[in-house]
Amino acid sequence: MSLLFDENLSPRLIRRLEAAYPQSEHVELVGLKGQSDLELWEYAARYGATLGSKDNDFRQLSFLRGHPPKVIWLSVGNAGTDAIAELLAAHRERVQAFLSDSEASLLVLDLPMQVSDRDDG
């Protein structure tokens, strides 16, 4: 299961998730750091990778263009690498089902809102 993590995510995710998502890459490690969203999109499509990102632009591209590539949009706010790794590991079966679905282009994974995150005023 090859994911291509956008530069807004830590390259440490590769090591943290190697058992659950083998063959995954990070844009920094494949020489794409600083490239445009469209260049990342085309790379992922060309190499059969699924884009993993917190960037809303990829979610929008998924709506406009469909797949390939497929997009996993991580609606996690400012969550750290540990929380993101745990979220992806916990949803491995859901991600597998998404990748197997020939019709699906976008999967949204989000963290449950913490009590301290709610706006009480």
- Say what the pLDDT of residue 65 is: 92
| Residue 117: pLDDT band with limits 50, 70, 90 | very low
The mean predicted confidence, pLDDT, of the chain is: 90
At 24-43, the pLDDT tens digits run: 999 999 999 999 999 999 99
Query: How would you list the strands of the sheet with 106-110, edge to edge?
Result: 25-26, 3-5, 50-53, 71-75, 106-110
- Say what the pLDDT of residue 114 is: 52
- Say what the pLDDT of residue 7 is: 93
Type of residue found at 121: G
At 43-75, the pLDDT tens digits run: 999 999 999 999 899 999 999 998 999 999 999
Residue ranges covered by each domain of the chain: 3-111
- Say what the pLDDT of residue 12 is: 95
- Say what the pLDDT of residue 112 is: 77
